[in-house]
Amino acid sequence: MLFYWAVLPLLLSLASCLPQSSINEASRQTVPKGGKDDYKSIQAIKRLLARAGAATPTLSSLGLAARAWDGNWVVQDQSGFILYAKVADDDLTMHVYKMENPSPRRVKMRSAIAALWEDKSSYYLRSLLHIKYHSITNQQTLAAMKRAWDLGDCGGASECRIVWNEDVPFDVLRDSPFGQGASKMIAEFSGMARHYISSFDMSQTGLDFNAGPDHPWLEINFRRYDDQ
């Protein structure tokens, strides 16, 4: 087992030079001989290698086209896919106002969000620090927000922040559809390999449209390990 940990620094340095296909191929190799401890060591190395991630896609590589409308971007294809969003360079935020992705899903929404930022922002994907979803209708996400609100120290405020060390409510939001999408962006794209989710900001789910045109909303906040 000591051998695998001895070569870990070399493997990690080589990971940035390997094409993603090589990393994927390595992950398909059979489990090495040597027992459970050696197996666990190799699995840990593979997880670290996977953080090398894939290059950020472009909209054209996804078969998507974007047009400007009222200060925002409308991203579409012929299948009915729609992403209506704003790239805000001033505070490094992607504002998502509308998403439609009918089955069978040809494009992953998280890939489109990453591609839109890469194509239309003045900054690379590694600079993205916030994704804010407005006017949420996804029932699983709304249920997670309500539960996290009740579990967190939110009280009677109109909005609340749940930080990473509030284990239970944070995990509830991280495991919601939008939280899972953010986690997968971190795992999949090299531009976010140094990111982690640090907190969630959210509005009360019980507030109706009269509370504001973007209610209810959820904002996912990232930090970078390099910023520590």
127-150 pLDDT, tens digit per residue, is: 999 999 999 999 999 999 999 999
Range with lowest mean pLDDT among 15-19, 104-108, 183-187, 206-210 = 15-19
Q: Is pLDDT of 33 > 70? A: no
Read off the pLDDT of residues 195-205 as tens digits, 9 standing for 90 and up.
Answer: 999 999 999 88
Residue 158: which pLDDT band, with cuts at 50, 70 and 90?
A: confident
pTM of the model: 0.75
Q: How far is CA 182 from CA 28, 44, 156, 201, in A?
A: 25, 22, 28, 14
| Nearest residue to 201 (alpha-carbon basis) of 93, 114, 64 | 93
Q: What is the mean pLDDT of residues 44-51?
A: 46
Confidence at residue 210, expressed as pLDDT on a 0 to 100 scale? 56
Q: What is the mean pLDDT of residues 59-64?
A: 98
Residue whose pair of structure tokens reads 């340095």 in the numeric block: 13
| Cα separation, 137 vs 132, whole angstroms | 14
Q: Average pLDDT of the chain?
A: 82
Q: What residues does each domain of the chain span? A: 58-128, 139-227
| Cα separation, 140 vs 120, whole angstroms | 30
Higher pLDDT, 208 or 26: 208
Higher pLDDT, 123 or 26: 123
Q: Where are the alpha helices (DSSP H) in 60-216?
A: 109-120, 139-151, 167-174, 177-188
Q: Is pLDDT of 32 > 50? A: no
Range with lowest mean pLDDT among 31-35, 45-49, 85-89, 111-115 = 31-35
Confidence at residue 205, expressed as pLDDT on a 0 to 100 scale? 80
pLDDT over 70, % of the chain: 73
